Structures are given as C-alpha cells and as structure tokens.
Chains A and B, each alone.
Chain A
Amino acid sequence: MLDTAINNKQPISTTSEWTFDLIQEYDREIALLAKEFGLDTYPNQIEVISSEQMMDAYSSVGMPVGYSHWSFGKQFISVENNYQRGRMGLAYEIVINSNPCIAYLMEENTMTMQALVIAHASYGHNSFFKGNYLFRTWTDASSIIDYLLFAKNYIARCEERHGVDEVEALLDSCHALMNYGVDRYKRPYPISAHEEERRQKEREEYRQRQLNDLWRTIPNMGGAEEHAEPHRFPEEPQENILYFIEKNAPLLENWQRELVRIVRKLAQYFYPQRQTQVMNEGWATFWHYTLLNELHARGKVTDGFMMEFLTSHTSVIYQPSYDSPYYNGINPYALGFSIFTDLRRICENPTEEDRAWFPDIAGSNWKETLQFAMRDFKDESFILQFLSPKVMRDMKLFCISDDDREKEIEVGAIHNEDGYRELRAKLAGQYNLGNREPNIQVYSVATRGDRSITLHHTQHQRRPLGKDTSEVLRHLHRLWGFDVHLHSLNGDEITASFHCPELGRDRSEEEESMLVPKPI
C-alpha cells in the first residue's frame, strides 16, 4: 500500500485549504522521505491551534505548561499588541524538545504552510533534538513536560502559602541570574518530576544540616585547629551562581531554595538551545527545503504549492546587509541554511578549493557528512569546522574591530584568500556564549566575617559590564541576604567594583533606596 502511495504521481492536494486528512497524508509522505534521507526522529505529536493559542504558547517560551509570572504577561501583551497592529506575523510554528516531539500548527495557515511546518519542525528540529550531542546529554526529552507541571504546581502552592508578592520577588531575582544557573561543563542529572518530588523532602533536611555546618557560630571546642588559616570558601570559583545560592545562601527558606532550583533547572534545559541556534535553525531549514523539493520532484505537490513555499522560504533566509535599516544581526536561518547547503554541495560537486579546504569531506556521502555535522557540534565549533569560503563570499562577510583606545573602527579580515581563516574564527567566537556573556563567578564568601559574598568578573578583551549590573546585584543581594561585592578584573587588576548595598552610605539611607527589591 505504501508503494502505491509513492508511485502515485497525483499531487496530494491542489487547493490551499487544509483538512486533517490532508495533514495526515502530507505527514505520511514527508515521513517516508525523511526515512529515506536517514533522519532519526522522536515520534511526532502535531497539534492544530488557533492564533490566540499560538500567542499563549509564544509568550511562555513555547512551553505548554508554565508557572505564572508577570514577565510572561508582559511578553504576551507585547506579542498581542504587535500581532493586532499587524506589525509582526506570528511564528508559523513552535516545536518543543520533548518525547513525543510536540509541534504546533496554526489554523490560519494554508496547506502549503502546514506542510512546510511539518517538514521544518516535526522532521527537521525533531531529528536535531534527537541527534545533537548537547540535547542528548543535557536534556531529558521524555520528562520535561512532567517537570514543568511539577514546577507549576509547586510554585502555585508556594504562592498560596507565602503570598504572590513573596514568590514573585524571588522569581524576579532568580530570572535576573538565570543565565548564571547552568553548569557549562558538568553533565547534570536528567530531571524527572517524579524523582524531584520524592527527593524534595530529603533535600530539605540535608540542606539545612549542611548550612548549619557552614554558618556555625559556636566556638570550636577542639582548640588545636582554632588558629589554623581559615579555608577560602568556596575552594574553587563557582560559575553556577544559582546553584551556589541554592546550596549555600544563609537565610533562604527551604521553599525558596526549591524555587531557585526550578529556575536553575529550566535554565539548564534551555542552555543547549542557546548554543545551537544557527545549527538548529539551519538544519531544520535545510530539511524543509530538501524534503519539499523532493516532494515536488516526485510530483506530490503542484507548482503553485512550490511557488508559495519558496516565497516564504526566501523571506525566512533573507539576510539584510549590515547597513540596511532592517539589519538585526546575522540571521541564524540564513547562516545555518547556507552552511548546510554548501556542505551538501561540497560532498556532491567539490571544486578545487573545497578539496583544499575540506579534504576529508569533499566527495563523501553527503547524508552521512551532514548527520555527523549535526550530531557532534555546537554553533561555535560548527562554524569553525564547516563555514566554507564560498559561503563567506556569498554572504560578503567582513570583520571590524572597534577599540575604545582608537579613534576609528578598523576593518579586519574580509572575504578574500587572506581573510577566510581569521574571519571564520572571529565569527565562531561570536557564537561562543562565553564571549557573549560576561564571565562572572563566585569567588569567595566571608564565612567567619560579615557573611558577604564576593564575585569576580573576568573581562574579555577589556569589555566592561553593562549598565544593569547594579540592578542585578540588588537581586543577588536579595537572594544572598548579606553584602554583595563584584570586582571586574582585567588580568589581575581590578578596574571596577560594584557593591550592594553601596559602600559609604548610611545604613538607614540604604534601607530606603533598597525599597524596590527588599532583602528577604
């Protein structure tokens, strides 16, 4: 029966109206092709929703369940505003890294768009989620929905017991530090809602005991060790600030530690997505393009279908040049799509240049090479490895260096023979999260003194901290409960220091200015 479906040259549909039967049929055809191309996916769950529901989903970072917080409301209102004024089209799709992989289709879309979304999300993104090493090691697709539900319920219970304001204030502070709630190198345990709930009680007790040890104020009766040099705490600088707070903040209640933990876990879940934007979107775009073209080649879709598809495809991968009013950074869809497409070309029709640049992959099996590129890289290493001179030429990439000690901006490498390597390295560096976000770590805590916490910011190419820094420190102060210091270091030299409460101010005055986020 499947054979007849493939050999049947009739297009699946000829109008732009979609029906559930047609979606089913497109999905089946695309699934067959995807299998032929060797895409390995989670099972798909395709949900048809209305535009209002899409706005809901959009404003809760695509999650089908989420805890309540005003910032999601703000997000929702701005999405709604822009949509109603026609300033922004809604995303055609949202896809969730879960097992089964959930993809949303909007009911307003035409049949072509639905097919595009199915190919893009349900087979493109889906196979990326299942294949890429970051997603494989850092997230547990089978339990995320359960965990979100657990988090939602737990936070709702906290709100009932401790009041919405308390919870909201705490979440604000956690969100401010969310990017510093991830382990970059250590592989976390997979999260599971069931396990979480079981262990939560246990943790409460254990944590309190540990804390008591750390903050012990009763004199040590041993005598001998009393004069020993006190250990620096923590012994090594800690990059996961939220984790450090969860485990060591002296004054937090147990439920507050749980909340910190929830935000931290979510940050960890989204961490791979932030590191693979170019690859992920490029991969999905490459596959919807390839799959739908293949459908057309086999006579499954009409020319009209292809026209509509190509129109929206080109607008997705449009890259305005740096001086255009529409320029808003490098379009990850465009960059990723170009690299993957060129990779296929290098495999299938290598030129002399390609053979020189990519001796191991030029002329190899393109499906295997692309799978390899998708599986074992993140944006930074992917660009460093696979950005070809041709793509750099096509996109006319160039590098500028802006040094505050110089009067003018200098143009560095450009898309020519001398510049390719440097340009590629620079672009890869731009996708290194470590360069994009300031490197801030917990350096020490005065366990015997005023309990203040000190953080160190290690500057990257002398870049200073942004203007929100003091604001974030106030949030950190709320979580920590005692004084917070942040030193910005260039090498070994401290170039700037931030304190919360600010130094040299009278305490009583302090209380007033701290009204906004008051310490817990």
Chain B
Amino acid sequence: MSYIIDRRLNGKKKSTVNRQRFLRRYKSHIKKAVGEAMNSRSITDMGNGEKISIPTRDLNEPIFSNGRGGHMEQVLPGNKEFVTGDRIPRPGQGQGQGSGGSGASDSGEGMDEFAFQISQDEFLEFMFEGLELPNMVKRKLAGNDSFQVVRAGISNEGTPGRLNVVRSMRSANARRIALSGGKRRNIKLLEQELEIEENKDAALRDQRRVDELRLQIEDLKSRISRIPFLDDFDLKYNLLVKQPRPSSKAVMFCLMDVSGSMNQATKDMAKRFFLLLYLFLQRSYEYTEVVFIRHHTSAKEVDEQEFFYSRETGGTIVSSALKMMRDIMQDRYPASEWNIYGAQASDGDNWNDDSSTCHKILIDDIMPHVQYYSYVEITPRDHQALWDEYRSVEQVFPDHFAMEQIIDVGDIYPVFRQLFTQKVAA
C-alpha cells in the first residue's frame, strides 16, 4: 500500500542555509561586484539586486581524476562511416570526442563564470556591510513618551498586582522545609524509638517512656505546624522597569548648491551620494523623512523632482541654506524626537565673507542638535574658503561632523564607506 502525502505546504526554503553559506564563502567576490555595481548603476535602480559572477576555478571542488594522456579507449555511439583500422586525426586540444563526456557542461558551451543573482536585500546587506550610523541613540532622551516597559526578573518588593504566585509559593515551601528540617529529623528518631518500645513484649514495655515519647512527638509536630505557611518575605513580585527607547524616527536634510557653477554631472554625483545615505538611513530607522533644500544666493525647500532636475544660475551663498535648515529644524523636527542627519553637497564655491557665517550657524545652531553632518565637496579643483571653515567645524565636533572630497563618480561609494565605516570603540 502506498502513502500519498501532500508536502507542498512544508517549508520550501530548505536550501536557504546552504545558500547563505555559499554567499558567506564568496563574500569577497560579491563585495567587489557590489562595489563595482554601485559605480556603474543608474540612480533609479540603486537598490535592486545584482548579478554576481565568480570565476569557475575559484569554486572548484577538486577531486582525484584522470588527466589526458596515456592510452585511452572509448566506446562511442552513432558510427556512420568508420571501419576497424581507420585512422582519424586527433581533434583540437581540450575539445571534441576525447573530453570523456563527464566534465563537459550540458549546454554545450564552456562556462568560465559562475553567475547568479542576489536579491535586493542581499545586495543592500553587502553594500552597507561594516558601515554604521554614528551616534544612533539620541544623546538626550527627553520626554516620557518614548519609554517601553520591559520585564526585568523578580524582586522582593512590589505592588500586589504584580505578585508572582509560583515564585512566592516556591520560596515559602523552601523556607518551611528549611525551618522544620531538624524537628522532622527528631520526630523520625523518636518514632523509631517508639516503635521499638511498642514492639516489645507487654511485660518489658516501659509505658512511661512510651508516653514521654508520644508527648515529645506531639510537641514537635505542633511546633512544625506553627511555622507560617506563607510569610512576608516569601512574597516575590515581577519586576518591570522602564527603558528609554531611542527615537526611531529620522530626518535627513539634503542641502545642495544649484548655482551656475554646479553642472548636471556634479549634481548627478551629489544625488548618488544622497541616495546612498537615504537607503542607509531607511535600513536603520523605522521611519525616515527627507527634506530637500537647494540654494544659490537664497535657499528654498523643494520636492525631489525640483531638487535634482531644475536648473538655476546665480551666485552662491551657502549660509542661506544652513539658515533654512536651522529654521525647519526648530519648526518641525524637535531634536528630542527626531534623529537629524545633515548631508550637504557643493562644489566649494561661496562668497568669501559668507563662509564665516556658515561656520557660526553650524557651530551654534545646527551641530548641537544633529546626529551627524556630512559634507562632500564635488570638485576637481583646489579647495576654497568654505572647506577651511568646515575643517574648523570638524575639529570642534570630531564625532559628529565629517567631510570628504569627491572627484569623479568612482569616488562616491568609497567616500561613503569611509564616512560611515564602523568605528571601533576606543
């Protein structure tokens, strides 16, 4: 008799572990491919999966096998024209009839690369591996709205509502056993003696001794019964503590210079950088908002489309954008609730006397409230006053401020990694 079983509802991801093992083993290959993909990808499919190729020789599982050479005999099917004794020129090396069949790929073409697809999640995992957001937890945990109550074991004090009955009874039981141990041992001894006495012949029995023993046993028993069943210090309570919960909301300010000196290519690079940061923030926080601020001589809060694609010309006053960021922060994103990240991209041009204003706004109004502020300067040219002013900001807030220079597209991902590389706690 056969049993027919429907297994379709059983787990189907049985090979997941093995797949993970595979990815783990070839991490370095995959990371390299991801790094390359980051630079060559168009912006819109930044977060998609990726096709990874690994040279087949790296995947090889070696076994002892016969090499070519020596005397080889082989039986083949499908003879058309040959008769015994025919001589055929040997076909080209490594190809044709002599290959023995077993090693050849069934598609008929040689395979030099083992190619496969990794999913979007896996891609991002590799992309952001080893990176972390600095200062994830709010420095100030203000307000009482972001607490969560967690269990924290057992305590001796508490409100009756939190009484842990099982633990209380257990400790009461333990106490009773401990307090009555000696007495029960005595009872046992006395009872043995009593039994011996009672088993004696009636003539030999010492009735007085029997009575005395009975009295003693009685006495001990009553003393045991006087041990309280439940005492005050038996009571155990579930302990609950409040844990401050780090805010899981983040806002990211994207500041970009759109003055005449920023061309489309530069803006494209800035956009890639912002996008990477956005993907990264999204992985770390439950909820992420983005504020786009663009500026030339004056700043404007805009939507994404306008931020990246509309063009304007004019001079550059960076402080206008910083002022706007400060105002928006004060209005809409109180630092007690939001994790604030700032990212600024510029080509480094600024009115000379404005740079010191930027410095002042950053130091006084922005840096104390943000988790992290990163500045990338996209320029192949020498730095100008703005860079130097920002350098001094970095010295004041070394943990919360970072700046790097990007020259071409290939720099973006490395610079991003550099900015967010996990810092080992000193």
Residues of A that sit less than 8 Å from B by CB: 20, 23-24, 27, 31, 43-50, 52-53, 55-57, 59-60, 68-78, 80-81, 87-88, 100, 107, 122, 164, 168, 172, 175-180, 319-330, 395-404, 407-416, 418-419, 423, 426-427, 429-430, 436-438, 440, 459-469, 471-472, 475
Q: Which of B10, B15, B97 contacts A72 (CB 8 A)?
A: B15
Q: Which of A49, A71, A328, A460 contacts B101 (CB 8 A)?
A: A328
Distance in angstroms between the alpha carbons of A329 and B75 in the assembled complex: 9
Contact: B8 with A49, CB < 8 Å?
yes
**Given A73-B22, A396-B77, A399-B76, 20 more contacts at CB 8 Å?**
A27-B4, A47-B4, A47-B6, A49-B8, A56-B12, A60-B18, A73-B23, A74-B114, A81-B117, A168-B21, A319-B77, A396-B79, A399-B74, A400-B88, A401-B72, A409-B87, A414-B79, A437-B66, A460-B66, A466-B65
Q: Does B61 contact A (CB under 8 A)?
A: yes
Distance in angstroms between the alpha carbons of A413 and B75 in the assembled complex: 9
Contact: B77 with A426, CB < 8 Å?
no
Given A122-B2, A414-B84, A467-B67: A319 and B78 within 8 A (CB)?
yes
Q: Does B286 contact A (CB under 8 A)?
A: no
Given A464-B70, A475-B62: A53 and B107 within 8 A (CB)?
no
Contact: B72 with A24, CB < 8 Å?
no
Contact: A48 with B6, CB < 8 Å?
yes
Q: Which of B12, B19, B21, B74 contacts A50 (CB 8 A)?
A: B12
Q: Which residue of B lies closest to A400 (CB)?
A: B74
Contact: B7 with A409, CB < 8 Å?
no
Contact: A408 with B90, CB < 8 Å?
yes
Residues of chain B contacted by A45 (CB below 8 angstroms): 2-3, 5
Q: Does B331 contact A (CB under 8 A)?
A: no
Contact: A323 with B4, CB < 8 Å?
no
Residues of chain A contacted by B24 (CB below 8 angstroms): 70, 164
Residues of chain B contacted by A400 (CB below 8 angstroms): 73-74, 76, 88, 97
Task: Quote the shortest CB–CB distance from B121 to chain A (angstroms).
Answer: 16
Distance in angstroms between the alpha carbons of A178 and B115 in the assembled complex: 26
Contact: B88 with A27, CB < 8 Å?
no
Q: Does B60 contact A (CB under 8 A)?
A: yes
Task: Quote the shortest CB–CB distance from B18 to chain A (angstroms).
Answer: 4
Given A70-B18, A322-B97, A396-B80: A330 and B64 within 8 A (CB)?
no
Given A326-B108, A459-B70: A465 and B64 within 8 A (CB)?
yes
28 A-B pairs in the complex with CB atoms less than 8 angstroms apart: A43-B1, A48-B6, A53-B7, A70-B18, A71-B61, A73-B17, A77-B19, A122-B2, A321-B77, A321-B79, A322-B78, A322-B79, A327-B101, A329-B101, A330-B101, A400-B97, A401-B71, A402-B74, A402-B98, A404-B70, A407-B90, A409-B90, A414-B79, A463-B66, A463-B71, A464-B70, A465-B65, A472-B62
Q: Does B407 contact A (CB under 8 A)?
A: no
Distance in angstroms between the alpha carbons of A102 and B336 in the assembled complex: 62
Q: Does B221 contact A (CB under 8 A)?
A: no
Given A396-B79, A400-B76: A77 and B60 within 8 A (CB)?
no
Residues of chain A contacted by B398 (CB below 8 angstroms): none
Task: Quote the shortest CB–CB distance from B45 to chain A (angstroms).
Answer: 19
Contact: A408 with B89, CB < 8 Å?
yes
Distance in angstroms between the alpha carbons of A50 and B4 in the assembled complex: 15
Contact: B64 with A437, CB < 8 Å?
yes
Distance in angstroms between the alpha carbons of A20 and B5 in the assembled complex: 9
- The residue in B12, B79, B101, B116 that gathers the most chain A C-beta atoms within 10 A of its C-beta is B79
| Contact residues of B: prevailing secondary structure | loop
Given A45-B5, A328-B101, A408-B87: A461 and B71 within 8 A (CB)?
yes
Contact: A411 with B85, CB < 8 Å?
yes
Q: Which of A20, A59, A325, A430 contacts B75 (CB 8 A)?
A: A430
Q: Does B148 contact A (CB under 8 A)?
A: no
Contact: A24 with B4, CB < 8 Å?
yes
Q: Which of B14, B67, B78 contacts A56 (CB 8 A)?
A: B14
Given A45-B2, A47-B7: A471 and B73 within 8 A (CB)?
no
Contact: A43 with B18, CB < 8 Å?
no
Given A53-B14, A77-B19: A31 and B62 within 8 A (CB)?
no
Distance in angstroms between the alpha carbons of A80 and B16 in the assembled complex: 12
Q: Does B106 contact A (CB under 8 A)?
A: yes
Distance in angstroms between the alpha carbons of A76 and B17 in the assembled complex: 11
Q: Does B120 contact A (CB under 8 A)?
A: no
Residues of chain A contacted by B62 (CB below 8 angstroms): 176, 468, 471-472, 475
Residues of chain B contacted by A164 (CB below 8 angstroms): 21, 24
Task: Quote the shortest CB–CB distance from B144 to chain A (angstroms).
Answer: 42
Residues of chain A contacted by B3 (CB below 8 angstroms): 43-46, 100
Given A59-B18, A68-B17: A398 and B71 within 8 A (CB)?
no
How does the 8 Å CB contact mask read for B377-411 relative to A, with 1 for contact and 0 for none? 00000000000000000000000000000000000
Distance in angstroms between the alpha carbons of A79 and B25 in the assembled complex: 19
Residues of chain A contacted by B21 (CB below 8 angstroms): 68-70, 72-73, 164, 168
Q: Which residue of A lies closest to B18 (CB)?
A: A73
Distance in angstroms between the alpha carbons of A275 and B176 in the assembled complex: 72
Residues of chain A contacted by B63 (CB below 8 angstroms): 176-179, 468, 472
Distance in angstroms between the alpha carbons of A326 and B68 in the assembled complex: 22
Q: Does B104 contact A (CB under 8 A)?
A: yes
3 tightest Cβ-Cβ pairs between the two chains A and B: A321-B78, A329-B101, A73-B22
Tell me which residues from 1 to 52 in chain B have a Cβ below 8 Å from any Cβ of chain A: 1-8, 10, 12-15, 17-25
Contact: A414 with B83, CB < 8 Å?
yes
Task: Quote the shortest CB–CB distance from B38 to chain A (angstroms).
Answer: 22
Q: Does B92 contact A (CB under 8 A)?
A: no
